């Protein structure tokens, strides 16, 4: 089998190495991949990123399965284009990708199918939005409708902060169109969980739960990032929480996908908030999470490639999805200055053998040397029978990797 993984993050490195575990897989092309996929067994980086080029490559190279990492391609309809040519690809059709591509659409969908979510209003006129803010309770959450590279959500503590954000989103247009329409949403207090799952449109199989750590500093302080570390399973996801999630969020979402006649054979990532008033749906992502994937996939016991094929072939109901016992803890090391401005091009050195697994992200292989090339540079996942053991391994491994300006949180999973 030949596989194609589209994307260049730590998530894609984790996907590529998991697909490569299947003995029928002969080669995993990574477009464009990174320094990690460059070094990975059976993997080969190819420098293409445009949908039409990816499609031609998949046809010419007789690719058997394609997995898309980032939402950008999904929202642009890559799945429909691959399907038209009879190629197997994991991901939602363009219409279903709007569940991530448009916050107002996903909120409407949740409302229509009775999925428990925060109360909200949608605005396209800044004056009406500001009028609405005058009678709101604070804090309040303001969300850009469209994709904003994970930066489109702000929590505002008072009217003035909210008004200023609305100005940035709708007038200054900091998201180049994505914030012209906004969602203003009730603030929910609680703990978050990420539940990745796979669907074939007939069933949704949830994966082991996980927990991201979004803020840059220890204790959840500072600006939001793409994610500074993840653990799995999420200790807050008790049986009661998962039962409630299944009944009030997962099942009605499946009903919605079916009634809206979406061709959804892909990953569905539920962002949920566990509150005193119950479990709420925060958002849908239509792809794997980063760094959740680096924590969750290594715990999968069943063959991942077979799982993906089973979803694409609409046969998940016959798939037995099994998990390893124990915990994982993934730490992310970032460039100094991230999520703001940072420099790249620093050499990454490794000393000694790691006990966990190293996933490279913003890192390239240049003349045989690994060099930093992004904000989130790499991740290390440790495993253990307990979360404490998994953490210990990940933190010990982190000491064996170095680059100038390397920064990581010290409290992941604490």
Over the window 197 to 236, marking each residue x when it contacts ligand GLY by CB under 6 A and - when it does not, the resulting string is: ---------------x--------------x---------
What's the closest the beta carbon of residue 57 comes to ligand GLY, in angstroms?
Answer: 26
Q: Is the peptide bond before 407 cis (omega within 30 degrees of 0)?
A: no
Q: State the angle between helix axes of 304-312 and 10-20 in degrees (0 to 180), rounded to the nearest 10.
A: 100
| The entry of ligand GLY, ligand AMP, none that residue 376 binds, CB within 5 to 8 Å by partner kind | none
> Is residue 188 a contact point for ligand AMP (CB under 6 A)?
yes
What's the closest the beta carbon of residue 377 comes to ligand AMP, in angstroms?
Answer: 22
What's the closest the beta carbon of residue 246 comes to ligand GLY, in angstroms?
Answer: 21
Over the window 200 to 239, marking each residue x when it contacts ligand AMP by CB under 6 A and - when it does not, the resulting string is: --------------x-------------------------
* Residue-wise DSSP of 3-72: EEEEE-SHHHHHHHHHHHTSTT--EEEEEE--HHHHHSTTEEE----SHHHHHHHHHHTT-SEEEE-SHH
For ligand AMP, the binding residue among 12, 40, 94, 185 (CB under 6 A) is 185
What's the closest the beta carbon of residue 327 comes to ligand GLY, in angstroms?
Answer: 18
Beta strand residue intervals within 259-375, DSSP E: 264-275, 278-285, 327-334, 349-350, 357-360, 363-366, 369-372
What's the closest the beta carbon of residue 259 comes to ligand GLY, in angstroms?
Answer: 26
Q: Which residues pair with 343 in a beta bridge?
A: none
Over the window 264 to 303, marking each residue x when it contacts ligand GLY by CB under 6 A and - when it does not, the resulting string is: ---------------------x---xx-x-----------
Distance, in Å, from the CA atom of 319 to the CA atom of 321, rounded to the nearest integer, reads 6
CB 221 within 8 A of CB 215: yes
Q: CB-based contacts of 55: which residues, under 8 Å, 6+ apart?
A: 78, 81, 82, 85, 87
What's the closest the beta carbon of residue 154 comes to ligand GLY, in angstroms?
Answer: 16
> Is residue 290 a contact point for ligand AMP (CB under 6 A)?
no
| The entry of ligand AMP, ligand GLY, none that residue 141 binds, CB within 5 to 8 Å by partner kind | ligand AMP
| 40's tokens | 């990975």
For ligand AMP, the binding residue among 187, 246, 323, 407 (CB under 6 A) is 187
* Residue-wise DSSP of 351-385: -S--SSEEEESSEEEETTEEEE-SSEEEEEEEEES
What's the closest the beta carbon of residue 299 comes to ligand AMP, in angstroms?
Answer: 22
Which stretch, 78-86, 126-134, 184-192, 398-406, contacts ligand AMP (CB under 6 A)? 184-192
The closest of 159, 160, 288 to 212, measured between CA atoms, is 288
> Is residue 121 a contact point for ligand AMP (CB under 6 A)?
no
The closest of 298, 103, 141 to 210, measured between CA atoms, is 298
| The entry of ligand GLY, ligand AMP, none that residue 120 binds, CB within 5 to 8 Å by partner kind | none
**Which of positions 24-53 make contact with ligand GLY (CB under 6 A)?**
none
Distance, in Å, from the CA atom of 355 to the CA atom of 394, rounded to the nearest integer, reads 8
| The entry of ligand GLY, ligand AMP, none that residue 289 binds, CB within 5 to 8 Å by partner kind | ligand GLY
The closest of 358, 412, 393 to 36, measured between CA atoms, is 358
| The entry of ligand AMP, ligand GLY, none that residue 406 binds, CB within 5 to 8 Å by partner kind | none
CB 280 within 8 A of CB 191: no
* CA–CA–CA angle 392, 396, 399 (5° rounding): 150
* CA–CA–CA angle 375, 290, 364 (5° rounding): 45
Q: Which is nearer to ligand GLY, 170 or 329 (CB)?
A: 329
For ligand AMP, the binding residue among 40, 71, 72, 283 (CB under 6 A) is 283
In the complex, which residues of this chain contact ligand AMP (CB under 6 A)? Answer: 118, 141, 143, 153, 155, 185-188, 192, 214, 271, 282-283
Residue numbers of the site for ligand GLY (CB under 6 A)?
212, 227, 285, 289-290, 292
């Amino acid at each position: 089998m030949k596989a194609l993984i589209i994307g260049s993050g730590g998530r894609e490195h984790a996907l590529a190495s998991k697909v490569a575990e299947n003995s029928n897989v002969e080669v995993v092309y990574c477009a464009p991949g990174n320094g990690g996929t460059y070094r990975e067994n059976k993997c080969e980086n190819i420098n293409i990123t445009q949908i039409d080029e990816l499609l031609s490559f998949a046809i010419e190279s007789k690719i058997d399965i394609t997995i898309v990492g980032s939402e950008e391609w999904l929202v642009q309809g890559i799945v429909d284009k691959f399907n038209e040519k009879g190629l197997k690809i994991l991901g939602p059709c363009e219409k279903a990708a709007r569940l991530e591509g448009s916050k107002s659409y996903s909120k409407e969908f949740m409302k229509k199918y009775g999925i428990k979510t925060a109360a909200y209003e949608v605005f396209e006129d800044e004056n009406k939005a500001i009028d609405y803010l005058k009678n709101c309770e604070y804090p309040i959450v303001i969300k850009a409708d469209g994709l904003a590279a994970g930066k489109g959500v702000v929590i505002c503590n008072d009217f003035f902060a909210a008004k200023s954000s609305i100005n940035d989103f709708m007038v200054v247009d900091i998201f180049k169109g994505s914030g012209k329409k906004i969602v203003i949403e009730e603030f929910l207090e609680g703990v978050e969980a990420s539940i990745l799952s796979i669907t074939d449109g007939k069933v949704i199989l949830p994966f082991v739960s996980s927990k991201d750590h979004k803020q840059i500093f220890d204790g959840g302080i500072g600006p939001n990032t793409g994610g500074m570390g993840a653990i799995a399973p999420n200790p807050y996801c008790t049986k009661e929480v998962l039962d409630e999630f299944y009944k009030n969020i997962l099942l009605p979402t499946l009903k919605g996908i079916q009634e809206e006649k979406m061709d959804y054979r892909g990953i569905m990532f539920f962002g949920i908030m566990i509150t005193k008033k119950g479990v709420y749906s925060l958002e849908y992502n239509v792809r794997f999470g980063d760094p959740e994937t680096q924590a969750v996939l290594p715990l999968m016991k069943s063959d991942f490639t077979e799982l993906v094929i089973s979803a694409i072939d609409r046969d998940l109901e016959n798939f037995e999805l099994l998990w390893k016992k124990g915990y994982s803890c993934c730490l992310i090391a970032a460039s100094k200055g991230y999520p703001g401005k940072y420099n790249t091009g620093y050499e990454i050195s490794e000393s000694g053998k790691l006990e966990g697994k190293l996933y490279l992200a913003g890192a390239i292989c240049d003349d045989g040397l690994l060099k930093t090339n992004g904000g989130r540079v790499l991740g290390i996942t440790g495993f253990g029978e307990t979360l404490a053991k998994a953490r210990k391994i990940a933190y010990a491994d982190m000491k064996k990797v170095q680059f100038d300006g390397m920064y990581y949180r010290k409290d992941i999973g604490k």
